[in-house]
Structure 1
Amino acid sequence: MDGVLKGFFVVGMVLLVGYILARTNALGPHGTKVLSTLTFMVGLPSLMFSTIASRHISEVLSQTGLISVVTALCCMALFALSGAIGRWGVRRTTVGALATGIVNSTNLGVPLSLYILGSATFVTPIMLFQLALVTPVALTILDLTDPDGKKTSMWSILSTPLRNPVTVAAILGVIVSAAGIELPDLVLDPLKLVAQLTVPLMLIIFGMSLHGLSPRQDSVDRVPTLFAVILKSAVQPALAWLLAVFVFHLDTFSTFVVTACAILPTGQNVVLYAVRYGVGQNLAQSTAVITSALAIPLLLGAAWLFG
């Protein structure tokens, strides 16, 4: 349990730094936008490529990884269906679906996996799934859904992933990993060095975005936010447990692993995407805050339940 509290304490301190920066206006009126652009254009692509390229592609095919993928896809599909029925809009629904399926696997999942489960490799399949599949598809949707309603040519649609640095980095990482290419340290080390700025900057951006956050500012997001929180903090962990016990018949420890991974809150990169594309910011921020608060008692409860 100490590991759970330690992980949240570290994240909370960095979030506080971002909040203070925004409250004191230390970075000026465009600070959040500049940092989010830097992270999106440089840090996140470096993180994605170095993470995927340095791991074997078969890691995502493990049973625990498969359960994480299935539960995330189910919850994202449920949110997308609800968004279509409720007419929440394609762009806001996309951000909401990300909030239900993208977990904080990097800056929270890695330390918690290390402290609680004994190894950081348990969150690797989740990272690969999110970085190589979910994120590129979602960002492509956000790129294609022009808010001005302009017609998009077929070539523009087909080439959209290739014009997004995050997507390009993911594609190149998958190619290198699948081909079994071992890149030299002279190539990977600079990328890993740049990638190290991504996690703290994401947390700082998230902390800055909390300044002035008020759910009452955009009441249209209340229902989507509530539904996203329910899917992320209740449905996904419950579904992971059911699959682990009744479908895959995993042992107690492995069941705890998939349940704990499903409990992880919404990742800060969802907030980054919302800020970057200027849509669903209140939805992403509120879901991330609430699921982070709920994750503390839920993880402690899971640790106690599974011994």
Structure 2
Amino acid sequence: MRGVFASFTTIWALTVVGYLIGRYGLLGPHGTAVTARLVFFVAAPALLFTTLARAGLEQIFTPALAVFVVSTVLVAVCYLLLAGREVRADPARATVGVLGASYVNAANLGLPVAAYVLGDVSLVAPVLLFQVLVATPLALAVLDRAAGRSGSVGRLVALPVRNPIMLGCAAGLVVAVSGWQPPVEMFRPFELVGSAAVPLALLALGMSLPGSRPLARGADLRERWLAVGLKVLGQPLVAYAVGRWGFGLTGPALLAAVVTTALPTAQNIFVYATRYDRATGLARDTIVLSTVAAAVSLVVITLLLG
């Protein structure tokens, strides 16, 4: 339990620092956008490259990955069905909502939870891979098109190649599959830059909070609570059902499958929303509320299944 609490304490400490930076305007009026862009274009690709380069294929293709994929797809469909016709008519807004309901914080929270609660960091690698290689390209393709930056099928197909996060993932996978172990000196610059991705994302999230009211009524109130409910309750319940009765998982394997789906919404969603200037309030509020709720639900899940 201490690992879960320690992880959330770190997250909230950095978020509070970001809030103070934004509250007093220490980085100017464009500080949030610039910080988010730095994460998107530089720090996150470096982090993903070093993480995936060290992952073995046997750590990726597991039953827990199948459970996560199935639960993610089902929750995404549920969100679209329940969100209403107005939301479905706005692809960018619907995409941010779907991500808020199903895209988990596999990096900065998933890694420490996997280490302290599950006892194996590699258990979160399949989740990270699916999200950055499948869910993220699809979501960014929709956001790219909604922003008027995509006019042809060829441009959509080439989107992963033009996306820095995808390039970092692809490079890491090439190294992992090849079996080549690059010199330590080659990894160090990427590790140094990548280590800034998580704190910068949390700072950017905190900087966006001054003036926000995640519990206030607003145009996206229904979408906000729908995304949070599906993320914190819906996805773990679906994962439990699919894992136990669909794949016959028990013990640590079932716990790992459920815990990874119970992680709160990732800060990356706010970075993507800010990058494309679409539904940033929905992304921010969903992250904040799901993170608070997951602090409780993760403990309950671990007590029940662990």
Structure-1-length-normalised TM-score? 0.91
Whether the aligned pair in 2 keeps the contact of 1:266 and 1:291 (CA below 8 Å) is yes
- Which residue number corresponds to residue 85 of structure 1? 85
Q: Deviations over 1:145-188 (max 9, x none)?
A: 235xx871344333333222122222333333334443332332
Shift of 1:59: 2.4
Q: Deviations over 1:122-166 (max 9, x none)?
A: 21111111122211221122112235xx87134433333322212
Provide the C-alpha distance between the structure 2 equivalents of 1:104 and 1:153, rounded to a whole number of angstroms.
32
Query: Quick check: 1:128 aligned with 2:121?
Result: no
Larger deviation, residues 199-208 vs 48-57: 48-57
Provide the C-alpha distance between the structure 2 equivalents of 1:292 and 1:83, rounded to a whole number of angstroms.
21
Any idea what SS the aligned residue of 1:219 has? coil
Shift of 1:81: 4.4
Whether the aligned pair in 2 keeps the contact of 1:136 and 1:166 (CA below 8 Å) is no
Whether the aligned pair in 2 keeps the contact of 1:60 and 1:66 (CA below 8 Å) is no
Taking structure 1 as reference, are residues 158 and 5 closer, same or farther at Cα in structure 2, changes over 3 Å only? Answer: closer
Taking structure 1 as reference, are residues 178 and 137 closer, same or farther at Cα in structure 2, changes over 3 Å only? Answer: farther
Amino acid at match of 1:110: L
Provide the C-alpha distance between the structure 1 equivalents of 2:252 and 2:164, rounded to a whole number of angstroms.
38
- Which residue number corresponds to residue 118 of structure 2? 117
Provide the C-alpha distance between the structure 2 equivalents of 1:40 and 1:217, rounded to a whole number of angstroms.
29
Query: Quick check: 1:259 aligned with 2:262?
Result: no
Query: Quick check: 1:190 aligned with 2:189?
Result: yes
Listed as ranges, the matches of 1:1-307 within 5 Å are 1-82=1-82, 85-88=85-88, 89-147=90-148, 152-215=151-214, 219-307=218-306
Shift of 1:41: 0.9
Provide the C-alpha distance between the structure 1 equivalents of 2:235 and 2:57, rounded to a whole number of angstroms.
24
Taking structure 1 as reference, are residues 189 and 63 closer, same or farther at Cα in structure 2, changes over 3 Å only? Answer: same
Q: Deviations over 1:187-227 (max 9, x none)?
A: 32211211000000011111111111135888331122121
Whether the aligned pair in 2 keeps the contact of 1:99 and 1:284 (CA below 8 Å) is yes
Provide the C-alpha distance between the structure 2 equivalents of 1:296 and 1:258, rounded to a whole number of angstroms.
17
Amino acid at match of 2:63: Q
Provide the C-alpha distance between the structure 2 equivalents of 1:3 and 1:36, rounded to a whole number of angstroms.
27
Identify unmatched segments of 5+ residues in structure 2.
none
Larger deviation, residues 121-130 vs 45-54: 45-54
Provide the C-alpha distance between the structure 2 equivalents of 1:171 and 1:273, rounded to a whole number of angstroms.
19
Any idea what SS the aligned residue of 1:220 has? coil
Taking structure 1 as reference, are residues 176 and 43 closer, same or farther at Cα in structure 2, changes over 3 Å only? Answer: same
Any idea what SS the aligned residue of 2:218 has? helix
Amino acid at match of 2:32: T
Larger deviation, residues 170-179 vs 160-169: 170-179
Q: Deviations over 1:55-85 (max 9, x none)?
A: 1234221111221222122212332444573
Whether the aligned pair in 1 keeps the contact of 2:214 and 2:289 (CA below 8 Å) is no
Provide the C-alpha distance between the structure 2 equivalents of 1:94 and 1:33, rounded to a whole number of angstroms.
20
Provide the C-alpha distance between the structure 1 equivalents of 2:82 and 2:152, rounded to a whole number of angstroms.
29
Taking structure 1 as reference, are residues 141 and 184 closer, same or farther at Cα in structure 2, changes over 3 Å only? Answer: farther
Provide the C-alpha distance between the structure 1 equivalents of 2:151 and 2:19, rounded to a whole number of angstroms.
39
Any idea what SS the aligned residue of 1:48 has? helix
Provide the C-alpha distance between the structure 1 equivalents of 2:159 and 2:304, rounded to a whole number of angstroms.
46
Shift of 1:267: 0.6
Shift of 1:48: 1.9
Larger deviation, residues 177-186 vs 242-251: 177-186
Provide the C-alpha distance between the structure 2 equivalents of 1:169 and 1:52, rounded to a whole number of angstroms.
9
Amino acid at match of 1:290: L
Whether the aligned pair in 2 keeps the contact of 1:18 and 1:207 (CA below 8 Å) is yes
Whether the aligned pair in 2 keeps the contact of 1:19 and 1:210 (CA below 8 Å) is yes
Provide the C-alpha distance between the structure 2 equivalents of 1:302 and 1:152, rounded to a whole number of angstroms.
45
Q: Deviations over 1:94-146 (max 9, x none)?
A: 11111122111111111122111222222111111112221122112211223
Provide the C-alpha distance between the structure 2 equivalents of 1:38 and 1:254, rounded to a whole number of angstroms.
36
Structure-2-length-normalised TM-score? 0.92
Taking structure 1 as reference, are residues 22 and 133 closer, same or farther at Cα in structure 2, changes over 3 Å only? Answer: same
